[in-house]
Amino acid sequence: MVIGPWLEIMHTILIAEENGAFRHLVSTVLTAVGYEVIPAGDDTEAINAAKGCRSPIHLLCANMTESHVNGVALAESLKPQHPEMKVLLLLTDDPRFVSVDTKTADRHSDYVVLRKPFTLDEFTAKVKQILTPAAVSG
């Protein structure tokens, strides 16, 4: 397996996603580029996985609008145990949720919202952007 040159250290990503096919797809893609991925199908599974994780969780990737995964609430419950964790919230293109209030996410500098649909390249680029520290100007 070839690991992307931009991955100098291993990052752990917790994927909380109800849709099993989507969860498997993004987990496979992120693993292929060198990330350690912990998949979870709902909030309870994600919380239990985070409790059992020995390494820091660097990124939580979760839906904002699914019935069994509430990304904002999940992030807020995990932050005390994983204060370094960044958050990527996925917002569906379902018309019932297009106007979902993202103000909660906007109040946190380490929360990023990505609206579906997106390509796998856009998704992995967003993950890389979130996890790669900004260049220090000097």
- Model pLDDT for residues 71-116, shown as the tens digit of each residue: 888 999 999 999 999 999 988 766 565 455 566 666 777 788 898 8
Which CATH superfamily includes the segment(s) 12-130? Answer: Response regulator (3.40.50.2300)
Q: Which residue has the higher pLDDT, 63 or 121?
A: 121
Residue 56 and residue 13: Cα distance in Å, rounded? 9
Report the predicted TM-score, pTM, of the whole model to 2 decimal places.
0.83
Inter-residue contact 126 to 112 (CB < 8 Å): yes
Within 10 angstroms of residue 59's Cβ, the number of other Cβ atoms is 24
CA dihedral sign of residues 49, 50, 54, 59 = positive
3-state helix, strand, coil in the chain (%, to 5): 35, 20, 45
pLDDT at 9 over 90: no
Q: Does the pLDDT of residue 134 top 80, yes or no?
A: no
> Where are the chain's structural domains?
12-130
Q: Per-residue pLDDT tens for 21-40?
A: 999 999 999 999 999 999 99
Which ranges constitute the DSSP H helices of the chain? 20-32, 43-52, 71-78, 103-106, 120-131
Compare 97 and 61 and report the one with higher pLDDT.
61
**SS3 label, residue 40:** strand
